[in-house]
Amino acid sequence: MFNRRPQIQGDNSGYMLSGSLIAGVAGLVVLTMVVIVCAEKKVNPNVNRTGPPEWTRSLVFKPELNVGFGDSSEGIHCPTPYHVIRERLGRTVTDAARWTCPMTQGKHVFEVYWPAKKNRGHACCVGMGSADVNLTKQGRCSLVGDHSQSWGLDMPKQRSVHFAKMQQKLYRGIPDRFFVYIDMDSGKIGFGDDISMHRHETEFFGYICHGIPKNKEMYFMISMCAPNEQVHVHYRGSAVTSGGYNLIDTPSPLQLSKDNLGQTHVAVASAPPSYMSVVSGQTPVAYVPPPEQKDSTPAPAPATVDQVNEGLAF
């Protein structure tokens, strides 16, 4: 009555073909979703690949902010105010150092030289914190960012941390030399690389630390947990409404000083005079242009009548 295909024992090729087709389509859908999700995660709307923030093109050097680290844990040694070495043995304690002068407002740039190869521990961090943040803590932790009054970048994990929680992921590694852009007016911290390393316009990684309180004294801070870990830090300048110098075009004390890193000297013609004073250990003074040099060759004496007549004789 009904035209049915006869059932043959072991003949299930039709069902197997349908199952394979369904599994293939499902796998393709899952793979497409994974690719889309990963692509969305790697898109960071705060990253500006064209260069640092616009306000870094108009900076002034304030000697009162170039004071170096003034407070640190007992596990840290500072040969100079700008050079920090962790001398504690072992990795079971995290140590920190705090800049001497606090910041409450304005926009500021710090330059950090923190080599990655054999010199960065499990949880080395850089950022901002108040005087309430402890300078030592048991265990390996993101100390700058662990406290409710601290915000920091955990460089090995490539993420910003506040109150022991991740604020934002950074989808790239941190180079040996980099800039820290502190915007106290907007309560955020950004990071970028250095032109002296890459020979192109500096790359801005984005503002990845947010929520820093305004009008409260906050300090630049670093934390580390590896033995003999070393960091060099220099203040580069603060933003002004007009005038000033461009961060990209100006060498820093880290580039100019042989004593710090053993680097080859660069051209210092465009360096702020206060930078040279800092490098030489002198007190920064206002720049006064040298007086205009005049020709010291004496003017010839006027010729006598006899000399004139002698020249006209022929």
At 270, is the pLDDT very low, low, confident or very high (cuts 50, 70, 90)? very low
List Cα–Cα distances, 122 to 21, 91, 93, 150, 156, in angstroms: 47, 9, 11, 19, 7
- Bigger pLDDT: 178 vs 7: 178
Neighbours of 216 (CB within 10 A): 14
- Report pLDDT for 49: 55
Could you give the CA distance from residue 93 to residue 300 in angstroms, rounded to a whole number? 80
Q: What is the pLDDT of residues 95-112, one digit of tens each?
A: 999 999 999 999 999 999
User: Is the confidence at residue 263, as pLDDT, over 80?
Assistant: no
222-234 pLDDT, tens digit each = 999 999 999 999 9
Averaged pLDDT of the chain: 78
Dmax of the chain from CA atoms? 149
pLDDT tens for each residue of 41-91: 443 444 445 578 999 999 998 989 999 999 999 999 999 999 999 999 999
Residues 96 and 143: beta-carbon distance below 8 Å: yes
**Residue from 220, 222, 185, 188 nearest 205 by CA:** 188
> Please, are residues 34 and 41 in contact by the beta-carbon 8 Å criterion?
no
Decide: 238 and 106 in contact? Cβ < 8 Å: yes
Domains by residue range for the chain, with CATH: 63-244 (2.60.120.920)
pLDDT of residue 272: 53
10 Rama class: left (phi>0) / alpha (psi -120 to 50) / beta: left
Q: Is the confidence at residue 6, as pLDDT, over 90?
A: no
Place 202 in a pLDDT band, splitting at 50, 70 and 90.
Answer: confident
Using CB atoms within 10 Å of the CB of residue 178, give its burial: 0 to 12 exposed, 13 to 18 middle, 19+ buried.
Answer: buried
Q: What is the per-residue pLDDT for 247? A: 87
Query: Cα–Cα distance between 236 and 40 in angstroms, integer?
Result: 35
